[in-house]
Structure 1
Amino acid sequence: MTTFEKIQEIIVDQLDKETEEVQLKTNFREELEADSLDLFQIINDIEDEFDIKIEFDEGLNTVQDIVNTVNTQLEAK
């Protein structure tokens, strides 16, 4: 399973969305209607899944932003 697929699964579970709704270019607030609390929970779940720490203020607007952040963190390990 790729980084994107794991993150996609977390987002789908957390926001009760369909898999097709969560793509790399999907914007959390505009397209998934996620609020700050939703994003906080998604980031917490991703941190637990990948055993990393994500700064919440890193300008995470799209799924791609989070995938890039996770991949950067994983490469630094």
Structure 2
Amino acid sequence: MTKEEIFDKIADIIADRFEVDKATITNEMNLQTDLDADSIDFVEFVLELEDTFGSEISDEDAEKLSTVGEVVDYVAAHQAK
């Protein structure tokens, strides 16, 4: 899966979960500040990413993800082969 395809799926999840216009989602968008996501929102988002992409994201790794671009890069690097 390409980074563009990964971004598209992540943007769909963000648009649905955080009720934002998909067209406004960029790689630079910060998950906490731009989406006003609290810790519960973020945990649910990570769980949905795991389900969507079929890979586990450790709590330690999840804490390091702050922008959409970082999530895309992480998923791309950890795709199920």
TM-score, with length taken from structure 1 = 0.89
* Unpaired stretches in structure 1, ≥5 consecutive residues: none
Q: C-alpha deviations, 1:47-70, integer Å up to 9, x for none?
A: 101110012332010001111110
Identity %: 30
* Unpaired stretches in structure 2, ≥5 consecutive residues: none
Q: C-alpha deviations, 1:19-72, integer Å up to 9, x for none?
A: 123211100111111111111111111110111001233201000111111011
Equivalent residue number for residue 26 of structure 1: 29
Matched, 1:53 2:56: yes
In structure 2, C-alpha distance between the alignment counterparts of 1:26 and 1:56, rounded to whole Å = 21
In structure 2, C-alpha distance between the alignment counterparts of 1:3 and 1:55, rounded to whole Å = 19
Matched, 1:15 2:14: no
Matched, 1:4 2:16: no
**Runs of 4 or more above 2 Å deviation:** none
- Number of residues of Structure 1 aligned to a counterpart in Structure 2: 76
Equivalent residue number for residue 63 of structure 1: 68
TM-score, with length taken from structure 2 = 0.85
Higher relative contact order (CA 8 A, sep 6+): 2
